[in-house]
Structure 1
Amino acid sequence: MCTGNLYRSPLAERLLAARLGAGGPEAAADSLPGIVVRSAGTHARPGAVLGADTRQVMAEFGGDGSGFAARRLTERDVAGADLVLGMAREHREAAVGLCPSVLRRCFAFEEFVRLAAVASEPAADPAADPREIVARAAALRGRVRPPAPDADDIADPVDLPPEALRACAARVDRAVRRTAVLLAPRHELLANG
């Protein structure tokens, strides 16, 4: 999830779904069963469409922005997800504010990547249920600290030049690729950003 659901989270949604072979709310027939990747914004204007620059950058990274419409984050989105990923700590806090019981399944995107990488090395079972990796990552929160307080936050590139959009997309794509490797198949993901 992110703020407006017009750049970071749609990029994460479409790239992660492509990497996992997952479906979104309108999944293709060939998508993997059991994996749903959705995005939403904490202050999204429902129905807003992606800008041309966003669609172009998304395509450069292998995503398809066609048919995307912004959604506002709801309690139902958060409560029903096995994993909730925000682009920054403020988004994680907003999700937990909607549904406090999701705390152990809710992370800033790069926070999750950092913690899950430690949680799955080296003794972890590579065939482990992805929910177990989420639980292990949550157990490391506070014990494996980021190099700086805002290191896990992916900044909003809104109103910035195309180079800033590409830099943000590259950062989101790295997190998406690492998440896909860590979590691979068979559970519901909510990749909001």
Structure 2
Amino acid sequence: MARLRVLFVCTGNVHRSVLAERLFAKWAPDAEASSAGTQARHLEGMDAATRSVLAGLGGEVGAFASRPLTAALAAGSDLVLGMEREHREAAVRLEPQAMRRCFTLKEFLRLAADLDGAGATPEETVARVAALRGRVAPASQRADAIPDPWGQGYDVLRDCATGIDEAVRELSGVLGVRGGVLGREVT
């Protein structure tokens, strides 16, 4: 069975998207999680505060290098999840054919909330969620965003990380990849 490829996108690829990548990998170890930033510069190593909150939530803090979002990354992903609408839109501008696979993380979860995904593959779930666009009332930009904790202190970053952890845990269930095996939950 092919591994589901999920790309998380934020601005600098130093806080939100790397947290989402590593925390999703904790909840869905058989999926392939990665991250990038719309304005990222290639930096070796993880931000110290990000490493600290990630470790506290049980995420992998090993080797990491931030990287910019590219058309190839968007094209090579089964699902692209931005932290804010601008990140989703940047991925679509780079790779228009990925439009039906690009959402904000909160938007995807909001649209999937009433979806009966029983028996669906992760790819089928993504397609079903995409089909709900325009049929479900839109939410405010703020409601679909995970705000940037940059420069706001450790407590704000920790709260952001906790929210991301809850969201990616829910995502793993929606996609049917919770427990590390695609399509079924392991208890």
The CA RMSD over aligned residues, in Å, is: 1.5
Cα offsets for 1:96-152 (capped at 9, x unmatched): 0000011111000110111122223xxx4x221111111111111132235533201
Query: What corresponds to 1:166 in structure 2?
Result: 158
Normalised by the length of structure 2, the TM-score is 0.86
Normalised by the length of structure 1, the TM-score is 0.83
Query: What corresponds to 1:190 in structure 2?
Result: none
Cα offsets for 1:50-82 (capped at 9, x unmatched): 221110101111112221110111111101111
* Residue type of the alignment partner of 2:17: S
CA distance in 2, matches of 1:45, 1:65: 19
Q: Does 2:45 align with 1:53? A: no
Task: Please state which structure has a larger fraction of its residues in strand.
Answer: 2
Size of the aligned set, in residue pairs, is 171
Query: What corresponds to 1:14 in structure 2?
Result: 22
CA distance in 2, matches of 1:127, 1:147: 28
Query: What corresponds to 2:11 in structure 1?
Result: 3
CA distance in 2, matches of 1:146, 1:50: 35
Determine if contact 1:47/1:69 at 8 Å carries over to the other structure.
Answer: yes
Q: Report the CA distance between 1:186 and its aligned residue.
A: 3.8
Structure 1: give runs of 5+ residues left out of the alignment. Answer: 23-34, 188-193
Dislocated runs of 4+, deviation >4 Å: none
The one of 75, 80, 83 aligned to 1:79: 75
Q: Does 2:86 align with 1:90? A: yes
Which of the pair has the greater relative contact order for Cα pairs under 8 Å at 6+ separation? 1
